């Protein structure tokens, strides 16, 4: 494994193709914020919407790139441009929090308050402050944190509810999502509270970070396998995984709103992402890692042993907690998170099999998943690497996963190289 050539490949591609894709087309100079819907040719797809998830993730991307020395001064300008739109157009001055969806002009089209979106508001605004030194990001991140503690915490069973109406009243049961707790929102709240504590240094933020870690470890991750369980009832008993009104990716599954295996399914990419995010959280929070390492290692090994496609490369979408894959397609974000996770897994265990797993995913991404005509990644591919979905970007398929993956893989490969 030639680490130096892998790093050079990452750096050249990220600076020469991936970031330029966004630099050239995403800033909406007329209406503010970002244009985030592009077809397979990189052309504006024309959708009249700007989502909280796409705006915040984009702010994170440009802030992180600037903070880590990628992309140059234009990253600073692009991040600041996005923050201005978030605060001017998407902040609800009546009830607090951010609208879920606005049109291109910034007029609210869905005023719901979604915990998942607010986790990324905290994450991105803190990254912006850390990168730029502008205190307004942390100011609004703390406002969101306070709203989540007031409205989203389940004070009886612990953890966070996720789906709210405009006034922060909890949504109803079933598809509106008001009766379930999810792995997704708790993992991303851990991610958000990590960066919040890094930016603020406040003990309350560290305490809530530690609490979110313990919820993940003791309530959400399967203790035998270290794998993530997607959905729960209020009391943390496992709930069948259903399709929420606000969600993505379900058009690959059967009609009826529930997966074929609604209980026994776990995402390899999520488990790898959980592992590396938790390691980062423990480091930033100065929390003793020893009580958590067993679960982290289980998550990494399960992802590698069951999720890596050793024949065609890349990582499968998902499978059983106890065994192999049930969905062998290749989705963009799982590849991105597996790259970071496999490098962290090696750093923790020194097992060379994780470096081999990293290389399998790296080669699949660079040889198959990157659309060389645009520089962005295909969203979903067959096991062999033929595109199934062909758009380059929309609300959910944005730059956050792959740019972050390139930056952190570049840095972690450098760390590994120093220790070899």
Single pTM value for the model: 0.96
Environment class of 45 (CB within 10 Å of its CB; exposed 0-12, middle 13-18, buried 19+)? middle
In degrees, to the nearest 5, what angle opens at C-alpha 125 toward C-alphas 48 and 288? 135
DSSP string, 274-329: HHHHHHHHHHHTT---GGGHHHHHHHHHHIIIIIB-TTT-SB-SEE-SSSSEEE--
Other Cβ atoms within 10 Å of 129 Cβ, number: 24
Instruction: Pick the closest to residue 99 from 125, 117, 84 (CA basis).
Output: 117
* Per-residue model confidence as pLDDT tens digits over 118-173: 999 999 999 999 999 999 999 999 999 999 999 999 999 999 999 999 999 999 99
Strand order in the sheet with 380-381: 330-331, 380-381, 387-389
* Per-residue model confidence as pLDDT tens digits over 12-39: 999 999 999 999 999 999 999 999 999 9
Please tell me the number of Cα atoms within 13 Å of 45 on its side-chain side: 16
> In this structure, what DSSP letter does residue 124 have?
H
Report how far residue 402's alpha carbon sits from residue 117's, in angstroms, rounded to the nearest whole number.
Answer: 19
Element (DSSP H or E) covering residue 207? helix 203-215
Handedness of CA 323, 327, 328, 332 (dihedral sign): negative
* Per-residue model confidence as pLDDT tens digits over 39-91: 999 999 999 999 999 999 999 999 999 999 999 999 999 999 999 999 999 99
Handedness of CA 88, 92, 96, 97 (dihedral sign): negative
Report how far residue 134's alpha carbon sits from residue 77's, in angstroms, rounded to the nearest whole number.
Answer: 12
Average pLDDT, the chain: 95
Model confidence at 257, pLDDT cuts 50, 70, 90, reads: very low
Instruction: Pick the closest to residue 232 from 247, 242, 245 (CA basis).
Output: 242
Element (DSSP H or E) covering residue 145? helix 136-151
**Using an 8 Å Cβ cutoff, are 324 and 395 in contact?**
no
User: 419 pLDDT exceeds 90?
Assistant: no
User: 253 pLDDT exceeds 50?
Assistant: no
- When computed from its CA atoms, the radius of gyration of the chain, rounded to whole angstroms, is 20
* Per-residue model confidence as pLDDT tens digits over 188-227: 999 999 999 999 999 999 999 999 999 999 999 988 888 9
The residue extents of the domains of the chain are 264-367
> In this structure, what DSSP letter does residue 169 have?
P
Who wins on pLDDT, 61 or 324? 61
**Using an 8 Å Cβ cutoff, are 292 and 237 in contact?**
no
**% of the chain at pLDDT higher than 70:** 96
Cα dist from 397 to 57, 263, 294, 402, whole Å: 10, 26, 32, 10
Enter the tokens of residue 268: 């390899």
Model confidence at 262, pLDDT cuts 50, 70, 90, reads: low
User: 250 pLDDT exceeds 70?
Assistant: no
Phi, psi of 220 (to 5 degrees): -105, -40
DSSP string, 217-254: IIIIB-TTT-PBP-EE-TTS-B---B--SS--SGGGS-
Phi, psi of 183 (to 5 degrees): -55, -45
Instruction: Pick the closest to residue 107 from 124, 88, 80 (CA basis).
Output: 88
């Amino acid at each position: 494994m030639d680490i130096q050539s892998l790093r050079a490949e990452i750096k050249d591609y990220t600076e020469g193709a991936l970031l330029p894709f966004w630099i050239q087309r995403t800033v909406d100079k007329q209406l503010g914020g970002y244009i985030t819907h592009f077809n397979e040719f990189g052309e504006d797809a024309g959708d009249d919407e700007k989502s909280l998830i796409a705006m915040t993730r984009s702010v994170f991307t440009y802030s992180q790139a600037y903070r880590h020395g990628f992309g140059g001064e234009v990253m600073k300008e692009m991040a600041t441009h996005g923050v201005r739109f978030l605060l001017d157009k998407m902040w609800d001055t009546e009830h607090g929090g951010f609208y879920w969806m606005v049109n291109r002009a910034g007029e609210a089209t869905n005023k719901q308050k979604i915990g998942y979106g607010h986790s990324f508001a905290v994450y991105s605004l803190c990254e912006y402050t850390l990168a730029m030194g502008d205190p307004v990001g942390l100011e609004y991140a703390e406002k969101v944190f306070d709203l989540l503690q007031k409205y989203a915490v389940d004070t009886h069973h612990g953890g966070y509810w996720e789906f709210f109406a405009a006034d922060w009243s909890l949504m109803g049961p079933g598809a509106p999502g008001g009766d379930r707790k999810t792995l997704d929102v708790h993992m991303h709240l851990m991610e958000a509270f990590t960066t919040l504590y890094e930016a603020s240094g406040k003990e309350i933020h560290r305490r809530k970070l530690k609490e979110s870690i313990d919820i993940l470890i003791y309530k959400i991750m399967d203790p035998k396998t270290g794998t993530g369980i997607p959905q729960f009832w209020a009391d943390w008993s496992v709930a069948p995984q259903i399709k929420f009104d606000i969600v993505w990716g379900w058009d690959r599954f059967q009609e009826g709103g529930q997966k074929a295996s609604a209980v026994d399914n776990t995402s390899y990419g999520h488990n790898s992402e959980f592992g590396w995010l938790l390691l980062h959280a423990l480091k930033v929070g100065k929390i003793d890692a020893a009580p958590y390492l067993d679960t982290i290692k289980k998550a990494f090994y399960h992802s590698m042993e069951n999720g890596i496609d050793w024949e065609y490369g890349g990582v499968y979408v998902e499978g059983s907690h106890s065994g192999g894959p049930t969905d062998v397609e290749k989705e963009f974000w799982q590849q991105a998170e597996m790259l970071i996770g496999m490098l962290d897994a090696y750093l923790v265990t020194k097992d060379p099999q994780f470096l081999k797993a990293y290389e399998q995913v790296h080669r699949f991404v660079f040889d198959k998943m990157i659309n060389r005509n645009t520089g962005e990644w295909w969203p979903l591919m067959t096991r062999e690497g033929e595109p199934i979905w062909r758009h380059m970007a929309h609300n959910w398929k944005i730059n956050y996963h792959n740019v972050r993956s390139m930056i952190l893989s570049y840095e972690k490969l450098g760390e590994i190289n120093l220790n070899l």
